[in-house]
Structure 1
Amino acid sequence: EAAKVRLADGQGREIACDGVLLTGQFTPESSLGRQSHLQLDSGSDGPKIDQYGRCSDPAYFAAGNLLRPIETAGWSYREGRRIGSLMALALCNQLPAPHDALTLKYAAPIKLGVPGRLVRGELAGLQHIQLRVSRAVSGTLRVRAQGLDLWSRPVSALPERRLLIPLKELQLPEHLDQLDICID
């Protein structure tokens, strides 16, 4: 089998292959969110959520490829199931109030992070902060508050590969309103 392609200079070429995979700078499927009143995450262009999947309007929840471009089907499925169970808890008023949220600020080369906010509370939501980088990078991934390290780990990452920060390992002081996440 083969695929016929037309190159940028207009010439045609036949490539022997079993299939063709096209990739690019994808955006999340959040066109309805972009037209709504919901706050968008500047890194991912998807809705900004807290660890319970709640958008800036807590009546709305988001998961999967709505939050970030190019996520695997398995990850999106598990995330959707978890967010669905959290929606059920929200209907029973069993989630922490969304108003006391910490903003997560991501520094380059971190391209995006999900969630964009963390709410203080005892109930577990998503298990990790999920990161993507914009370029190949090696260094120390850090979560900082007011210049102090709250968590760190050595990393080596390529673009679009998932990096995870376990939320259960973060000890969040009460007086904070922002966490800074960087690789240096």
Structure 2
Amino acid sequence: MHIDRIHHVAYRCKDARQTVEWYGKYLNMNFILAIAEDQVPSTKAPDPYMHVFLDAGQGNVLAFFEIPASPPMGRDINTPAWVQHIAFKVDSEATLREVMQRLQADGIEVVGITDHTIFKSIYFFDPNGHRVELAADCATPEQLQRLDAVKWDMLEEWSRTRRAPRHAAWMHADEFSEQAH
């Protein structure tokens, strides 16, 4: 089997219209499709829903379900809020700054710009409480090669110890130097 691409990623939303408008306004995503049913096709459960689809660029689709008959949205209290998120690639740090200013101008809290060495990111929450990341790649071929060379060793060490391996500690060192190699 070969997976061609992700067909769509779906999240729950509190209000389908608000979600469509928010993603259009802040992330320039076009509203491309809506499906609504009184019964879930896969399970046959009687659970009315509105399913909206947004164009996330290059064939990527972000979808949301509004399911008003279900209990209010919550989140896994055992998982930190920063863990579950969706990240979108943008073209540059300048774009990160532009979007950050637009969000902040409307009172939306933004974390960043965070320098991850191989990309820079900003983080914020959508109106449903989902964490969103915008990331601009800035890796050099050498950096990517270094990370590729240690990925299996890192995974093996983590699997044994459940402690962060230091193979790529250079990525978040305060100062990149030859000693960090």
Whether TM-score is above 0.5 comes out as no
TM-score range, shorter-chain basis?
A: under 0.3
Which structure has more helix as a fraction of its residues?
2
Normalising by structure 2, we get a TM-score of 0.27
Normalising by structure 1, we get a TM-score of 0.27
